[in-house]
Structure 1
Amino acid sequence: MSKGYSEMMGLEVAGNYQHLITIFQQAVSSYQVSPWFCIPPEACRIYQSEGGLTQVVLLGTTQFSQLFINEAAGRIKIVGVVDDFKAKDGAAFHGIPIISSEAMLRLAREQRIISINGCRYDYSRRYFKNLTLQHVIPMLNFEQALRLLSISPCTDHRIDDWGGYIASHAAELIALSHRLDDDYSRFTLFSVLLSHLTCNPEWILNAAKPYLTLYFRSGLWLPSQGERFADCGASIAESTKAFIDATDGVFKKIWMIEPDEVNQRTIASFITDYSGPPVTGEKGVIELLGVALGSEDGEMPFLHEGGHGGHLLAAPTDQAICRNVAVRRLDGLLDDSPTLIKMDIEGAELETLKGAQEHILHGRPKMAISAYHRASDLLDISKYVEGLRGDYKIGIRHHTEERWDTCLYFY
């Protein structure tokens, strides 16, 4: 008799991707029986019994707690957010009372509650995990909470539950693994898929590389001196700075493409202050292009949040930071053919690749393409690039301890 996922869920620590395929297939089978297979049974019983009256306490005044409030509004009753440091001020967190740990324990003694841990860093995450275990309070992480409430798709596609997509495309994802060029990429692929499918971020820790290795230190290829680099989603210049470090400042050109008005000021200051390589030689050109990218030229609404959060919108909102931006095809935007393309543009990667097909077809640039904003990114992006050129090697790396920053490499 074959084992189910629950009997095989110990982490694979030997780097054996073939073992991960077996675990992945068992997890898919378990999901098909019940998407709740990875959720604590007591939480399932409470929600099945109470439905929209289920009382929920969020653990931590964090980004993920805020995201849950946004997505779960009206589906359950969020009665408090635990933050022992802020509770004494009697403040609220996005309209929800901030309470102490002791207040949560009193509430749990009086009625059945579900706690949802919005903390992702180990110290605070472990504190709440130990507290809820000690007092027998069912606790879910953010991904489990979305799964329990069947919140899919989310209003923000970047935090969607990928479980249904992965289960229905399991055969295609296994086929993708055979197309990858190295075993570590295959190990990374199934670690990422298992993390999303089972709502267990521990799978990602098994394969994650440090954030500082993103794009240019993946171990798959190195940028050469003399590159023409298209930094698509230049943000606050981290990627360009990492590229300059990787090439010792010797390059032909960098196009820093960034539509966010807040970030553009940061980039302009960086370009002004950049002094070039500390050796005698020709200084490379850095150019800021303040547009968004897509498959067609046009105009779209954009949230100018600054940092990493700004993104295109399907329709405008009444937010003050929502303003239209020009959208351009990469093929018609650049004054030369890039030798290296990086993309991290909040889910617009596939459309931007479609607008760069001439560069890809005729120039065969190396590419580092973010593939974590949508459940379909890994398949759709790799299929599109392979449809243009079948001579790329493909690799995958994951560069944080979080759900963010899975990257496809074409080289």
Structure 2
Amino acid sequence: MILGLPSDKRVVQWPNESLRFCELFLGENTHLKYIMGRNIYTEALCNLIKVDGIVDDFTTETNYKGLPIIKVQDIPPKSMVLNASGGRPLSAKYKLDSVGLSNLDYFAFYQITRLALPEVRFNEGFEHEYLDNKQKYAWIYDLLNDEKSKEQFLKLINFRFSHDIVHLNGFTQKEDIQYFEDFLDLKQKGETFIDVGAYDGFTSKEFIKRCPNYEQVFAFEPDSTNFKKCSESLAAFPNVSCMPIGLSNRKGILQFDVSGSASKISDSGTVKIAVDRLDDVLKCKPTFIKMDIEGGESAAIEGATQTILDNHPRLAISVYHSAGDFWRIPHQILSIRSDYDIKLRHYTESIYETVMFFLPKQ
């Protein structure tokens, strides 16, 4: 087994102050109790625990589910704050620590208390998946092409397994450079980019910025609201085609859950969208394909098998949406073509935005 990967059992020696925080936060005492952030975690916590308010520095609203919303600067001294900031937990912790407030992150609270709370989003079922496939995680670790990839891989797997936020230390918000690493060696001239999950066109514009003399850009976005934004954003650029469909492993109509940048194919979705195979809708020769489609990446890769086989493009694939994607995605791609080097980069201080890069071997 690779040194640094989790063992057979989750062994976390939670600090006494973390254990004491959970005990006090759940007990009847004189401490004022607040939850920081508003999301699915906050809603579930409010349904289980009596708290005195919500902390949110980024809103003008003053009430959430009958509770007052306050800023960090207005939290009374000696209060307790449960940090449910799912997106930027490290920044939230630093802010709370800086003003001397007792605080604990949701990830540790969830693990210590074992209350009936939502699992960490995009980490559902990870513990069992990892234990069932430890050798696969060791396999992909060995294949990673540089030390930074290996270091970030170990940190992410250990956080996902233990829920201990200490493994996230060192990660920062870098979504502005996501998908565009120097090792891609993108050329200013002659590149053709496939943007799968284009959202509002931001990533395609970043590609154009880096490759101004590109050949073509194809932006796939099935959500009608997002597609409109994407089309408007990219309208001024030549040789850009915005495609109002999703990519998958077959042509058809699927249900779609509309949720902004997190919109995804879902059996419970209330909107219907058209999907098709990349192999069937485009006959170009892509040099770079990016996919970030909320868990639909594997099906889209299957539908792009011939494109990958024939053209050997660079690939940037999100692997954080589903338990097992850290090894299943590379296994799938290498079964199409084995002549890829693999790197991994992570772009937030939480569980979101992990990208695996597949670079054609020279």
Q: What's the TM-score bracket when you normalise by the shorter of the two chains? A: 0.7 to 0.9
- 1:23-51 CA-to-partner distances (Å, cap 9, x unmatched) read x34xx34x71557857922256569x87x
- Three-state SS of the structure 2 residue aligned to 1:410 is strand
Matched, 1:231 2:195: yes
Which of the residues 66, 83, 107 maps onto 2:39? 66
More RCO (CA 8 Å, sep 6+): 2
Counterpart AA for 2:40: L
Question: May I ask how many residue pairs the two structures share in their alignment?
Answer: 352
Which of the residues 259, 265, 284 maps onto 1:312? 265
- Tell me which residue corresponds to 2:315: 367
- Three-state SS of the structure 2 residue aligned to 1:346 is coil
Q: CA deviation at 1:197?
A: 2.9
Counterpart AA for 2:352: W
Q: CA deviation at 1:328?
A: 1.4
Structure 2: gaps of 5 or more residues: none
Given that residues 295 and 329 in structure 1 are in contact (C-alpha distance below 8 angstroms), is that contact kept between their aligned partners in structure 2? yes
Query: What is the alpha-carbon distance in structure 2 between the residues aligned to residue 358 and residue 177 of structure 1?
Result: 27
Given that residues 258 and 264 in structure 2 are in contact (C-alpha distance below 8 angstroms), is that contact kept between their aligned partners in structure 1? yes
Q: CA deviation at 1:121?
A: 6.5
- Tell me which residue corresponds to 2:141: 177
Query: What is the alpha-carbon distance in structure 1 between the residues aligned to residue 157 and residue 318 of structure 2?
Result: 15
Query: What is the alpha-carbon distance in structure 1 between the residues aligned to residue 289 and residue 115 of structure 2?
Result: 34
Query: What is the alpha-carbon distance in structure 2 between the residues aligned to residue 152 and residue 243 of structure 1?
Result: 43
Equivalence map 1:90-109=2 (5 Å): 91-98=62-69
Query: What is the alpha-carbon distance in structure 1 between the residues aligned to residue 352 and residue 56 of structure 2?
Result: 28
Per the alignment, do residues 213 and 123 of structure 1 end up closer, same or farther by CA in structure 2, a change over 3 Å counting?
A: closer
- Tell me which residue corresponds to 2:247: 293
How high is the TM-score relative to the length of structure 2?
0.82
Q: CA deviation at 1:246?
A: 1.5
Q: CA deviation at 1:92?
A: 2.7
Query: What is the alpha-carbon distance in structure 2 between the residues aligned to residue 57 and residue 392 of structure 1?
Result: 51
Please tell me the root mean square deviation across aligned C-alpha atoms, in Å. Answer: 3.6
Query: What is the alpha-carbon distance in structure 2 between the residues aligned to residue 121 and residue 72 of structure 1?
Result: 16
Q: CA deviation at 1:144?
A: 1.9
Which of the residues 342, 346, 354 maps onto 1:398? 346
Q: CA deviation at 1:175?
A: 2.0
- Tell me which residue corresponds to 1:261: 224
Query: What is the alpha-carbon distance in structure 2 between the residues aligned to residue 352 and residue 234 of structure 1?
Result: 14
Query: What is the alpha-carbon distance in structure 2 between the residues aligned to residue 371 and residue 152 of structure 1?
Result: 27
- Tell me which residue corresponds to 1:324: 272
Matched, 1:32 2:9: yes
Query: What is the alpha-carbon distance in structure 2 between the residues aligned to residue 33 and residue 200 of structure 1?
Result: 11
Structure 1: gaps of 5 or more residues: 1-17, 109-113, 277-284, 317-321
Q: CA deviation at 1:329?
A: 1.6
Q: CA deviation at 1:145?
A: 3.1
Matched, 1:128 2:99: no
- 1:108-142 CA-to-partner distances (Å, cap 9, x unmatched) read 7xxxxx74212436665334335675xxx5x3312
- Three-state SS of the structure 2 residue aligned to 1:273 is coil
- Tell me which residue corresponds to 1:79: 51
Matched, 1:41 2:13: no
Per the alignment, do residues 223 and 96 of structure 1 end up closer, same or farther by CA in structure 2, a change over 3 Å counting?
A: same
- Three-state SS of the structure 2 residue aligned to 1:236 is coil
Given that residues 56 and 78 in structure 1 are in contact (C-alpha distance below 8 angstroms), is that contact kept between their aligned partners in structure 2? no
Given that residues 153 and 160 in structure 1 are in contact (C-alpha distance below 8 angstroms), is that contact kept between their aligned partners in structure 2? no
Counterpart AA for 1:296: R
Between Structure 1 and Structure 2, the one with more helix by share is 1
Q: Percent identity?
A: 21
